[in-house]
Amino acid sequence: MTTATPLEAELLEIAGSVPDPELPVLTLQELGVVRAVRLHGADTVEVELTPTYTGCPAVEAMSLDIERALHEHGIRDVTVRTVLSPAWSTDDITAEGRRKLREFGIAPPRAVREQGPVSLTLGPTRAGRAAGTFDAEPVHCPHCGSPDTELLSRFSSTACKALRRCLACREPFDHFKEL
């Protein structure tokens, strides 16, 4: 792995500052999808972008926005390449990104896992004390902070979010699902 030059680091920051088209409260850097920027010559750049999932419909919009941002910075030739390995996970969302999701009313993903296979356990739709279950880390309501929430739908406004409701304040909210 090569170390980025100061110009590549600057261009990575510019590409990473682009807002996510589906969650404009987050930048692509906070979402963790811009992986690298490589300079090829004086004004030719290749950006590596990893989608949140293989069929993510926002990849094209992200790519165009990155190209536009780098063109505005004087880079003539920009190529955005989709890179699937290593796969993106919700662990790639920065602490600042998680804070912004919470402030925007979306429960951020819980801490995921150690490396290795992901176990899957099917269980109740409620999380927290109200359901009589004690998840290792319940989904907290972004409005009131209560851990007593229930799953209303496994899919919400985007495929990467679920719809939940707080049993304390009764407010519905999106939860960015863990991957």
CATH number of residue 155's parent domain: 2.20.25
Residues constituting the chain: 179
Predicted pLDDT at 160: 85
Within a domain: residue 88? no
Predicted pLDDT at 29: 97
Within a domain: residue 132? yes
Q: Are 170 and 111 found together in one domain?
A: yes
Within a domain: residue 98? no
Within a domain: residue 131? yes
Please give the radius of gyration of the chain, using alpha carbons only, rounded to the nearest integer. Answer: 18
Domain that holds residue 39: 6-82
Domain of residue 14, CATH code: 3.30.300.130
Which tokens is 2 given? Answer: 């090569």
Contact 160, 177 (CB under 8 A): yes
Predicted pLDDT at 132: 43
Which tokens is 66 given? Answer: 């990155």
Q: Are 113 and 49 found together in one domain?
A: no
- Residue 165 — φ and ψ, nearest 5°? -135, 140
Predicted pLDDT at 123: 59
Q: What is the pLDDT of residues 55-71, one digit of tens each?
A: 888 999 999 999 999 99
Whether this prediction's pTM lies above 0.75 is answered by yes
Report the number of distinct structural domains present in the chain: 2
Residues of the chain with pLDDT under 50: 128-135
Q: Are 71 and 113 found together in one domain?
A: no
Q: Are 130 and 64 found together in one domain?
A: no
Within a domain: residue 100? no
